[in-house]
Structure 1
């Protein structure tokens, strides 16, 4: 087929030469990702953070191709069909995300990983048809590849999901650039040049130690400065509380109190099982339009929470050392009631440990810690990254601890006093 070029702000020209890949990109399920932001409500904190999971997925596809070419050039045997399937999996790895991704999952209970598998394997799916036309086994194989249960060679699935994968490589560079910060920058070229395969697992040569340190420190700094930005977390809390209020009203038989309910959101808020077509029709435009209309909802709580989110009247964040004991929590609820707020919808504790993004710590690396192949030992030895990097040993022992209590600014002083007693 004729080469198709996507102009990308991170990687330059992304070339698509495979007809299957181009058809997947053109499918309704993949085009929907144009309407799902990569960073949820981060645009509240960083005005440029409007980039989408569509762009990110193209970037991951591109980087998968680059790493595979590098490995083949360095005598790692990878069949053409294996490479093609790995590129397809890279492209489709985020296809199941819903509006505002993990936040929406918390409210509705819908699991994006389950939707990835369903979109890729369901007979109703355009994506599944395209994959099956390439090879009848591809839908199931691509789905298992993304889920990490693929029974093929481990290094291929590690390129999608590990401590050193092309997903992280793209989102760090992309998120950093689009947010207008430098925290997520690292030497991508050098990192790719030092990727190797040892015993069928991904590793780096020792020439890549500095690049890997940059990469992992980039995750560390992006985590604290972008992904866990206090204004972003506050905006997510507001959106989550507004959606929780809408769910409570719909499931409590008080749908009229919303004033307006988009057809695409109705079965979601009601807790009904969605068809594939219903899920693919759902995106962030539905949620944001509902929030806009709900600012005039008959229900005062929904109207207020929606207005606060829409007009960026964020909750104040009170820093906590940990959680709240029962006495403190009851004090918070009393303080909110005294200020005229329903405590069921006007406070939330947000913990760093529950955030989507985590930086690298050796004890959390699971089955895929980053391994370095040392050339100066005889014979060459594989070592875990923190064994050869003093820089990473420093952050690997740091506990992850950051919590905020988010409440309306009007009640912040009362609540702070209740917490500090």
Structure 2
């Protein structure tokens, strides 16, 4: 058999992802049509109520299976994708550094809603909680975007560098694996970053850090889905399904990651 080239493999995987995407789009489209054309949605997902709990009738088990599988794909291929994770951790570090700079008394541009959280320390009083909530509700992505763009020229070199990396899409290099990274490997990267960027020990966590992410598509403990049979008995969907991988979806999958600047790769 002829060995598959890298480009051919890439095209095959890309095609598969697009197929899955349009399957989800088609399912959503069908649901929207059903809602706005006065079609009973229960024909798409037959549900019932037993002991004040919402359950799914047995004929709807295949819809539940597809939903759980699609949910797993969306988490690992979208929400927890390594590029998304790299951008998210970079933005978190930017806000951490901005908060640190602000608490030092340094002048820092920010929109009014974001300025409140940079320069104020939340307290436990009820009045303060209402004030915090009022400012929080005024926050949106535009507050973050315009502030980060302004910080690209800030005098704090760590803050300006991190902001420039986000604005110009120079994200962290991120590596994912199932086992924790060896401590000597992490320490070696820290030493390289320290020399390359001339960092102090306090500045190091902004450039080299590790962590973990976890996800499970279905948790019987917190979001149990029960199937109602015609004889009135109830059964958990993981047990009722004849798909072996549905039981696997109820297990927590944990992955470890390490982030560092691409200059160190």
Scaled to the shorter chain, the TM-score interval is 0.7 to 0.9
Question: Is the 2:72–2:216 contact (alpha carbons within 8 Å) kept by the matching residues of 1?
Answer: yes
Distance 1:393 1:287, change over 3 A: closer
- 1:229 maps onto 2:229 in alignment: no
Please report the TM-score for the alignment, with normalisation by the length of structure 1: 0.48
Q: Which of the numbers 250, 255, 261 marks the counterpart of 1:402?
A: 255
SS of the residue 1:401 aligns to: strand
Task: After TM superposition, give the deviation of residue 322 of structure 1 in Å.
Answer: 2.9
Task: After TM superposition, give the deviation of residue 334 of structure 1 in Å.
Answer: 1.1
* Alignment match, 1:365: 220
* Alignment match, 1:261: 110
List alignment gaps of at least 5 residues for structure 2.
1-16, 32-40, 123-127
For 2:74 and 2:113, the matched residues in 1 are separated by 34
Q: Give matches, 1:305-384, under 5 Å.
A: 305-340=162-197, 342=199, 343-353=204-214, 358-361=215-218, 364-375=219-230, 379-384=231-236
For 2:143 and 2:113, the matched residues in 1 are separated by 7
* Alignment match, 1:171: none
For 2:261 and 2:205, the matched residues in 1 are separated by 13
Please report the TM-score for the alignment, with normalisation by the length of structure 2: 0.74
* Alignment match, 2:3: none
Higher relative contact order (CA 8 A, sep 6+): 2
> How many residues were matched structurally?
223
Q: Give matches, 1:19-418, under 5 Å.
A: 181-182=21-22, 184=24, 186=27, 188=31, 189=41, 193-253=45-105, 255-256=106-107, 258=108, 260-273=109-122, 275=131, 276-340=133-197, 342=199, 343-353=204-214, 358-361=215-218, 364-375=219-230, 379-391=231-243, 392-396=245-249, 399-412=252-265
Q: For residues 17-69 of structure 1, what are the alpha-carbon distances to aligned partners after superposition, in whole Å with 9 as ceiling and x for unaligned?
A: xxxxxxxxxxxxxxxxxxxxxxxxxxxxxxxxxxxxxxxxxxxxxxxxxxxxx
* Alignment match, 2:125: none
For 1:367 and 1:399, the matched residues in 2 are separated by 13
For 1:333 and 1:310, the matched residues in 2 are separated by 24
For 2:233 and 2:103, the matched residues in 1 are separated by 59
Task: After TM superposition, give the deviation of residue 204 of structure 1 in Å.
Answer: 0.4
Moved more, 315-324 or 393-402: 393-402
List alignment gaps of at least 5 residues for structure 1.
1-175, 413-421
For 1:191 and 1:236, the matched residues in 2 are separated by 39
Distance 1:326 1:270, change over 3 A: farther
Q: For residues 175-207 of structure 1, what are the alpha-carbon distances to aligned partners after superposition, in whole Å with 9 as ceiling and x for unaligned?
A: x99xx9347454754675411111110100001
For 1:251 and 1:300, the matched residues in 2 are separated by 16
For 1:266 and 1:181, the matched residues in 2 are separated by 39
Distance 1:380 1:394, change over 3 A: same
For 2:221 and 2:198, the matched residues in 1 are separated by 43
* Alignment match, 2:5: none
Task: After TM superposition, give the deviation of residue 397 of structure 1 in Å.
Answer: 6.0
For 2:118 and 2:170, the matched residues in 1 are separated by 25
* Alignment match, 1:162: none
SS of the residue 1:352 aligns to: strand
Question: Is the 1:191–1:212 contact (alpha carbons within 8 Å) kept by the matching residues of 2?
Answer: no
Task: After TM superposition, give the deviation of residue 380 of structure 1 in Å.
Answer: 2.3
Q: For residues 293-334 of structure 1, what are the alpha-carbon distances to aligned partners after superposition, in whole Å with 9 as ceiling and x for unaligned?
A: 001111111111101111111111123333345444332321
For 2:120 and 2:248, the matched residues in 1 are separated by 42
For 1:397 and 1:278, the matched residues in 2 are separated by 38
